[in-house]
Structure 1
Amino acid sequence: MGYILRAIDETETIKISAAITTDVVEEATKIHKLSKTTSAALGRVLTAASIIGSWQKNEEDSITLSINGDGPAGRIVATCKNDGFVKGYVTNPTADLPIRESDSKIDVSGIVGKGNLTLVMDTGMKKPYTGTVNLTTGEIAEDLAVYFSQSDQVPSAVGLGVLVDVDYSIKAAGGFIIQLMPDATEEQISKLEENLKNLPSVTSILDEYHDAEKLIEIIMKDINFKILEKREITYKCNCSREKVEDAIVSVGPKEIEEILREDKKAEVSCYFCDKVYNFDESDLERMLKKAKDINKNRKIIIQDNF
């Protein structure tokens, strides 16, 4: 099971969250049968979504982080509620690229390509907040830092890492997000910048320690801090047969009638957990009746409004 630590420095002007997500990314890799490169890409997005999701106030609040690139992976999505459950998917899970020759690292930027990063925050208001920025590197961590700077006007540093073993299992995964408050002094900023400049790769720290507090200690060297919270995170999909039925009903009577006429059955796979739901002719007829009833009631409500 993964976990997140939230911490703050003694002047309360530097906020840092660090996560260990090895088990979370391993579960995603098994479910989606990911390649080494899509494991690294989705793992970074899952880690980031888990951290940002832990910042929300209410248990039902959720965030969805999506990387919409033109690379071989296609769309990469992760969504997390404030209950510690995170899930995600890649449009083309088996897409892969060779190790990058320039630095001998997994080619995440190559598998992602050019495009944009979108963050949707649903806090129960009428309309969720949505922010989008263009991808600058496709490495995800740097792109997320740009998002915080441009959309939230919060100076941030982001580090995300996934270490894939030779058998494609996940040896280590995790990361951190640091954000500076407006009252941060030049001295604090300089010290933090120096620490980040000398920071080893996130994957090397995770591989050696597998410890979020140690990751924070290394980043916050010579800066006093305190841990505010520890929160567990788990890869979990909350799909159900009932939710899939509701989704089919929502497409409307015309579409359901077409399915009945052409196939007399429906098979629906969940993007997030690959679970397959099968519906036979009697199921579809029942859903068709429900869809017609909803349409009928909607017309009555519209007429009553005039």
Structure 2
Amino acid sequence: MSDYLIKATAFEGTVRAYAIKSTELVEEARKRHDTWATASAALGRTMTISAIMGAMLKGEDKLTIKLEGDGPTGPIVVDANAKGQVRGYITNPHVDFDLNAKGKLDVARAVGTAGNLSVVKDLGLKDHFTGQVPIVSGEVSEDFTYYFATSEQVPSAVGAGVLVNPDHTILAAGGFIVQVMPGASDEAIDLLENRIATIPPISTLIREGKSPEAILNILFGETNLNILDKLPVTFHCPCSIERISNAIRGLGNDEIDDMIKVDGGAEATCHFCNEHYHLSPDDLSKLKQSEELQ
């Protein structure tokens, strides 16, 4: 079952709900960045939630999320859009610790318990929407819950989890976001609070083969749920040798000459997908020539 997310409403449209299976997405990020177990969980939780937040957008809209705590992982940066395309990186991928007191990966220790979570939305307008809140726990899900309540003023429950195999590959990853809209009844809110408090860990449900639809049915019951859309989710980075070449061309002929004579070529690595690009002196000369012809 490939990764995808579900958009739904419940209780006559007074509750919005999203659920995602993101195992392949997180595994692709792990392979590209060689993340160790705790770093995988931190990056995976952030990418999972970011994928859902991207799906809340429309058309060509996109967002960038930065989780910057005082822990050893350093900043985590994720891009996501309304098409289910996600990319991300963690500054220090080689972070791992013993399990915490609850027997889980110690994500809070890796991320840190002080710092900021920022969300920048590009909605195609002149100015971008930017929201920023302090990190409240470093567990990621709780930090996003606080972000929604504080920055967007939407009461939300956010859950994300990642299970890692002994060989550091990703066994299961997924998440959900439930948002209460104005007009929701006290009965609906009480039911949701009880269900969310007792639902098994989301990564456990994914490992057991539960689909995003099944996860929302656990939360709401089939009679309350109205599924609106299903969206494939993939790791996607638009970087390319053409983009790198255009960036180098923009530096001008003097800089290109230095790359040819001093460096013997040019190397570039994309932070988001870790793809490596090499341009030989001949490649650079062609860029210089094309610049001269313009």
TM-score scaled by structure 1? 0.88
Residue correspondences, number: 292
Pick closer, same or farther for the CA change 1:292–1:223 going to 2, 3 Å: farther
- 8 Å CA contact 1:8, 1:226 repeated in 2: yes
- 8 Å CA contact 1:87, 1:237 repeated in 2: yes
Which residue is equivalent to 1:39? 40
Helix, strand or coil: the match of 2:274?
Answer: coil
Between the aligned partners of 1:64 and 1:232, the Cα distance in structure 2 is 19
Between the aligned partners of 1:254 and 1:151, the Cα distance in structure 2 is 46
Map residues 35-184 of structure 1 onto 2, 5 A cutoff: 35-58=36-59, 60-100=60-100, 102-113=101-112, 114-184=114-184
Tell me by how many angstroms 1:167 deviates.
Answer: 1.7
Between the aligned partners of 1:269 and 1:103, the Cα distance in structure 2 is 38
Q: Deviations over 1:210-237 (max 9, x none)?
A: 3111111112248611111111111122
Tell me by how many angstroms 1:281 deviates.
Answer: 2.6
Q: Deviations over 1:27-63 (max 9, x none)?
A: 11112111011111111111111111111110x2211
Map residues 159-238 of structure 1 onto 2, 5 A cutoff: 159-221=159-221, 224-238=224-238
Between the aligned partners of 2:249 and 2:20, the Cα distance in structure 1 is 39
Superposition CA RMSD, Å: 2.1
Helix, strand or coil: the match of 2:233?
Answer: strand
Q: Deviations over 1:184-218 (max 9, x none)?
A: 12221111111112222222222223311111111
Helix, strand or coil: the match of 2:145?
Answer: helix
Tell me by how many angstroms 1:168 deviates.
Answer: 1.3
Between the aligned partners of 2:255 and 2:17, the Cα distance in structure 1 is 49
Map residues 283-302 of structure 1 onto 2, 5 A cutoff: 283-287=283-287
Between the aligned partners of 1:222 and 1:275, the Cα distance in structure 2 is 44
Pick closer, same or farther for the CA change 1:293–1:183 going to 2, 3 Å: farther
Moved over 6 A (4+): 289-294
- 8 Å CA contact 1:4, 1:212 repeated in 2: yes
Helix, strand or coil: the match of 1:213?
Answer: helix
Helix, strand or coil: the match of 1:78?
Answer: strand
Q: Structure 2 unaligned runs (5+)?
A: none
Q: Structure 1 unaligned runs (5+)?
A: 295-306
Tell me by how many angstroms 1:269 deviates.
Answer: 0.9
Between the aligned partners of 2:200 and 2:11, the Cα distance in structure 1 is 24
- 8 Å CA contact 1:195, 1:221 repeated in 2: no
Identity %: 40
Question: Do structure 1's residue 6 and structure 2's residue 7 form an aligned pair?
Answer: yes
Letter in 1 for 2:58: K
TM-score scaled by structure 2? 0.92
Between the aligned partners of 1:262 and 1:195, the Cα distance in structure 2 is 64
